Amino acid sequence: MIRSCAACGVKNRIPAARLADTGTCGKCKAALPPSAAPIEVADAAEFDAIVRDAKVPVLVDFWASWCGPCRSVAPEVEKAAKQLAGKAVVLKVSTEQLPQLAQRYQVNAIPNFKVFAAGKVTREQAGAVRADVLERLTLG
């Protein structure tokens, strides 16, 4: 995962296990806060590393660009990511780009939310829901 420093613009690599931590820029030493926005997953390897190595719960939003309910719930996912920053990691998985992940986790309807801990699904919720529901789902 790459995060740009707000102070100097340098790109810093953040290990999956540290995505919820406050880090330090390798160049200017400014604080790199935990992500307060959903992270778009690029490939299955990145997904696997994050759900396996994260020290906090990982909320995954399985979605598709053609899905109206997915688009309507996106602002709620963003709100939840902001509220969960430092306490959880929020991922977005496009079922169009990564159908193998949707198949692996038996996602038959979208939007579909799954919470992972230590690489395993611990909770799930199908359908469009508000940010507060996503927060409770994630943190238990």
81-129 pLDDT tens trace: 999 999 999 999 999 999 999 999 999 999 999 999 999 999 999 999 9
Instruction: From the candidates 5, 25, 28, 67, give the one annotated as an active-site residue.
Output: 67
Cα 132 to Cα 49, 62, 109, 119, 136: the distances in Å are 27, 18, 21, 24, 6
In contact, 31 and 22? CB cutoff 8 Å: yes
Q: Is 70 a catalytic residue?
A: yes
Catalytic one among 5, 8, 28, 70? 70
**Threshold 0.75, pTM exceeds:** yes
Domain boundaries 35-139, corresponding CATH code: 3.40.30.10
Map out the domains of the chain as residue ranges: 35-139
CA separation for the pair 34, 60 (Å, rounded): 17
Active site residue 28: no
